[in-house]
Amino acid sequence: MISNQILQNTIDGLKGITRRDFCVLDAESKIVVTTDGKSAGEYVPQVEAFINSQADSQEMQASHYFKIYDEYLVEYVLSVSGADDEAYKLGKLAAFQIKSLLVAYKERFDRDNFIKNLLLDNLLLVDIYTRAKKLHIKNNVQRIVYLIECEEKKDSSMSDILRNIFPDKTKDFVTAVDEKNIILVKEVNTDNPVEIENYAKMIYDTLSAEAMSKVYVAVGAVVSDLKDVSNSYKEANMALEVGKIFNCEGHISHYSKLGIGRIIYQLPLSLCKLFIKEVLKDKRVDSFDEETLMTVNKFFENSLNVSETSRQLYIHRNTLVYRLDKLLKTTGLDLRKFDDAIIFKITIMVSQYMDYMERQSQNRM
Q: What is the pLDDT of residue 248?
A: 65
Q: What is the pLDDT of residue 81?
A: 94
β-bridge partners, 114: none
Q: What is the pLDDT of residue 287?
A: 81
Domain boundaries, the chain: 4-98, 125-262, 269-364
Pairing of strands 173-175, 143-150: unpaired
Tell me, letter by letter, the H, E, C secondary structure of 252-275: EEEHHHCCHHHHHHCCCHHHHHHH
Q: What is the pLDDT of residue 105?
A: 78
Superfamily of domain 269-364: PucR C-terminal helix-turn-helix domain (1.10.10.2840)
Q: Which one, of 281, 278, 286, 288, lies nearest residue 354 by Cα?
A: 286
- Report, as ranges of residue numbers, the positions in the chain whose pLDDT lies below 50: none
Q: Which one, of 150, 178, 177, 175, lies nearest residue 186 by Cα?
A: 175
Instruction: Report the alpha-carbon distance of residue 126 to residue 120 in Å, rounded.
Output: 16
Q: What is the pLDDT of residue 249?
A: 66
Asked if the 125-262 domain carries CATH number 3.40.50.880, the reply is no
Residues whose CB is less than 8 angstroms from the CB of residue 159 and which lie 6 or more positions away in sequence, other chains included? 174, 175, 176, 182
Topology of the domain covering 4-98: Beta-Lactamase (3.30.450)
Tell me the backbone φ, ψ of residue 34, rounded to 5 degrees.
Answer: -160, 160
pTM, rounded to two decimals: 0.69
